Structure 1
Amino acid sequence: MNIKFFSSLFLTLLAFSVFVGVFQQSANAWEAKVKYFVACKNVDESKRPPTPIDVSTVFSTNDEKIHLFIHLEDVEGPIKVTIKLFKPDGTLFDEVDSGWYKEKYNWVTFYPWLKISEIQNLIGEWRAEAYLNGNLASTLKFTLSQASEIKIIGKSMSLAEGEPFYIGDVLTIKYTLRNEGTTTAKNIVFKFEDITPSEGLIVIEASPPKDLSPGESGEWIIKIKAETPGEYTAVLRLYESESKVTEGNWQITVSLPELQVIEKKISPSEEEPFYVGDVATLTYIIKNNSEGKVKGVKVYVELPDGLKLVSASPAKDLMPEEVGEWIIKIKAEKPGDYKGKIILSVMDAKIAEGELTVKALSKPASSFIGILTIAIIALIIIAVVAVIFMKKKKAASSKALESSTPQIDKRFCVKCGAEIPIDAKYCLKCGTAQ
Structure 2
Amino acid sequence: MGAHRIAVIGAGYVGLTTAACLSRLGHRVHCADLDQSTVDDLRHGVVGLREPGLAELVAAGLAEGTLDFGADNLAAVQDAEFVFLCLPTPSAADGAADLGAVHAVLSQIGPALREGCVVVVKSTVPLGSTRDLRARLDRAGVAVASNPEFLREGHAVTDFLHPQRVVVGASEEDTARRVLDLYRDTGAPTLITDPASAELVKYASNSFLAMKLSYVNTLAELCERTGADLTAVTEGLGQDERIGPAFLAAGPGWGGSCLPKDTRALLHTATEAEVEFPLLAAAIQTNERQAGRITGLVAQVLARPLRGARIGLLGLTFKAGTDDLRDSPALAVAQALATAGAHLRGFDPGVPAGQERIGPVGLVSLAELVAEDADAVVLLTEWPEFTELDWPGLAARMRTPLLVDTRDHLPAKALAAAGIRHHRLGHPTPS
Kindly indicate which of the two structures has a greater share of residues assigned to strand.
Answer: 1
Structure with larger Rg? 1
Kindly indicate which of the two structures has a greater share of residues assigned to helix.
Answer: 2
TM-score, normalisation: structure 2: 0.20
